[in-house]
Chain A
Amino acid sequence: MTDAPILEVRDLAKAYGARIGCVDISFDLWAGEVLAVVGESGSGKTTLLSCLSTRLAADRGSVVYAMRDGSRRDLSTMREAERRFLMRTDWGFVHQNPADGLRMGVSAGANVGERLMAVGDRHYGHIRGTALDWLDRVEIDADRIDDRPRAFSGGMRQRLQIARNLVTSPRLVFMDEPTGGLDVSVQARLLDLMRGLVRDLGLSVIIVTHDLAVARLLSHRIMVMKEGRVIEHGLTDRVLDDPREPYTQLLVSSIPQA
């Protein structure tokens, strides 16, 4: 299975009227690899992530995904039912704002259990047991299982969103600024947790961030975006320690050195 990428992106483009969202995007993602997409606000990161995850239809280009059964599928040709099934079993999507990815009106347990029920689990005890297990893995106390996420802090909500996504053992997880909007100390704990989960589960991840420290900590490779295009792409250490593009050099010089 490692002889072919899990995701093959070719010549992807999306415009909003005359405004470029992203353009000329081509890359491969390999199983177990974490790819960080970095760049300033407005550089096209979210647009790219939305197109890759089929939340947004691209204008041009192709995204081919290696399914669990080994077949390779062009995502744009998938039927809606198949696409939904893929999104809630084999994929995860972690939003910057947890309220966009959680059901705020139901308990933490139901949030984690929803995917299981969506794919046909009809055993309450099993669903609850699995939810408890996942809450523990994201360091949420078991006695919070029946509380609604409204009562949770920002960091807890984000950890709950991660649990809700990982409960079906997805192979590919998209994350859009998952640590944005959190206090620095909360960010550190979340990053630590995410790094452990990604390693333990062997996840493939595409993570969008404007924070190069996040990219440094989590990713194997970095794609730098500017004005909708990828202007630099390489191994994380190489890009951060020896940036070739002046724009990347500027980005790198703007982060405080550890």
Chain B
Amino acid sequence: MNGVAYNFAYLDEQTKRMIRRAILKAIAIPGYQVPFAAREMPMPYGWGTGGVQVTAAIIGPNDRLKVIDQGADDTTNAVSIRAFFRKVTNVAVTTHTGDATIIQTRHRIPEQPLAAGQILVYQVPIPEPLRFLEPRETETRVMHGLEDYGLMHVKLYEDIAHHGRIATAYAYPVKVADRYVMDPSPIPKFDNPKMHMSPALQLFGAGREKRIYAVPPYTEVKSLDFEDHPFEIQTFDQPCALCGARNVYLDEVILDDRGGRMFVCSDTDGCDSRRPTTNDQPEARS
């Protein structure tokens, strides 16, 4: 891209206005999927071009951007998207959750509670929560329109019938503001409660499927369940092997080929902040 003049944040102003209109509509109707004319971005769809376009439409010169993938700031996807925005906006970037004004994410919500004024932008692969049981788009649109959501519970019923419990662990469906059923993107259900009444604005972008949806600040987000099989988050038997934190989401790290493994925070920023120095710790992430 060197030597070529790009508009701030890559997209032209007209496209940004179009995306912002979609975002405003999404905020006005929490959980409702707003179609938008998604653009080609200079990266593969698998990288989360929907989230990238949302960020490009809302970012300003004074923003501080954090990008995470699976909770980590240093994975290829996160590094590439951060580099992209550095190049096309020159805004400040950070790995610290508390310092960021915009956090673009794939697969996690940071452990540190978000604050008013922050915006969390999710990269969404499949926005339609009803699709797996009702592939027809015309029909799912009517179902959303009529709040006809019995099928979501059919899916949960099947889970319990076959596994003895609700086995869905990622992309666990939620109802937003007691109206629209929404796919929270493939975050672990561990993160679902963080969406509820969050002071931050949550925006969701699906590039391939050209949909934007939103959860405005302080909005009710309820995970679907049964009275006798209530929603539960994942729990971990042991604390993080690096920082000792409990009640955080842990990833399993394979240490060697003899079965050695340990569980460490998936949120690298949170983990690092709890460790006084990183020098005397085993090097788990290279």
Task: Using A110-B161, A118-B148, A123-B226 as known contacts, say yes or no to A105 and B133 having CB atoms under 8 A apart.
Answer: yes
Q: What is the chain B residue whose CB lies nearest that of A80? A: B146
> Among B103-111, B149-157, B179-187, which stretch is in contact with chain A?
B149-157
B226: which of A107, A109, A114, A124 is its contact (CB, 8 Å)?
A124
Q: How far is the CB of A242 from chain B (nearest CB, A)?
A: 48
Task: Using A80-B142, A124-B229 as known contacts, say yes or no to A109 and B157 having CB atoms under 8 A apart.
Answer: yes
Whole-angstrom CA separation of A109 from B148 in the bound complex: 20
| Cβ A146 vs Cβ B154 within 8 A | no
| Cβ B153 vs Cβ A81 within 8 A | no
Give the residues in chain A near B37, CB-CB below 8 Å.
Answer: none
Which residues 107-135 in A have Cβ within 8 Å of B in the complex? 107, 109-110, 113-115, 117-119, 122-125, 127-128
Whole-angstrom CA separation of A145 from B160 in the bound complex: 13
Chain A CB within 8 A of B227 CB:
yes
Interface code A14-46, partner B: CB below 8 Å = 1, 0 otherwise? 000000000000000000000000000000000
B161: which of A81, A117, A123, A146 is its contact (CB, 8 Å)?
A146
Chain A CB within 8 A of B258 CB:
no
Q: How far is the CB of A168 from chain B (nearest CB, A)?
A: 12
Q: How many residue pairs bridge A and B at CB < 8 Å?
A: 56
State the majority secondary structure of interface residues on A.
Answer: helix
B150: which of A105, A106, A114 is its contact (CB, 8 Å)?
A114
| Cβ A109 vs Cβ B161 within 8 A | yes
Q: How far is the CB of B36 from chain A (nearest CB, A)?
A: 26
Task: Using A81-B146, A84-B146, A117-B153 as known contacts, say yes or no to A122 and B227 having CB atoms under 8 A apart.
Answer: yes
Chain A CB within 8 A of B228 CB:
yes
Task: Using A103-B154, A118-B150 as known contacts, say yes or no to A128 and B161 having CB atoms under 8 A apart.
Answer: yes
Give the residues in chain A near B133, CB-CB below 8 Å.
Answer: 103, 105-106
Q: How far is the CB of A69 from chain B (nearest CB, A)?
A: 21
Give the residues in chain A near B229, CB-CB below 8 Å.
Answer: 124
Whole-angstrom CA separation of A76 from B248 in the bound complex: 55
Which residues 75-104 in A have Cβ within 8 Å of B in the complex? 80-81, 84, 103
Give the residues in chain B near A128, CB-CB below 8 Å.
Answer: 157, 161
| Cβ A113 vs Cβ B157 within 8 A | yes
Whole-angstrom CA separation of A109 from B157 in the bound complex: 9
Chain A CB within 8 A of B40 CB:
no
Give the residues in chain B near A106, CB-CB below 8 Å.
Answer: 133, 154, 158
Chain A CB within 8 A of B162 CB:
yes
Whole-angstrom CA separation of A181 from B162 in the bound complex: 32
Q: How far is the CB of A20 from chain B (nearest CB, A)?
A: 29
Whole-angstrom CA separation of A119 from B149 in the bound complex: 9
Using a CB–CB distance below 8 Å, which chain B residues touch chain A? 133, 142, 146, 148, 150-151, 153-154, 157-158, 160-162, 225-229
Would you list 20 pairs from A and B whose C-beta atoms are within 8 A, ordered by A residue? Answer: A81-B146, A81-B148, A84-B148, A103-B133, A106-B133, A106-B154, A109-B161, A115-B150, A117-B150, A117-B151, A117-B154, A117-B157, A122-B153, A122-B226, A123-B226, A123-B227, A123-B228, A124-B229, A128-B157, A145-B161
Using a CB–CB distance below 8 Å, which chain A residues touch chain B? 80-81, 84, 103, 105-107, 109-110, 113-115, 117-119, 122-125, 127-128, 145-146
Task: Enumerate the 3 nearest inter-chain pairs by beta-carbon distance, A residue then B residue, closest first.
Answer: A118-B150, A117-B153, A124-B226
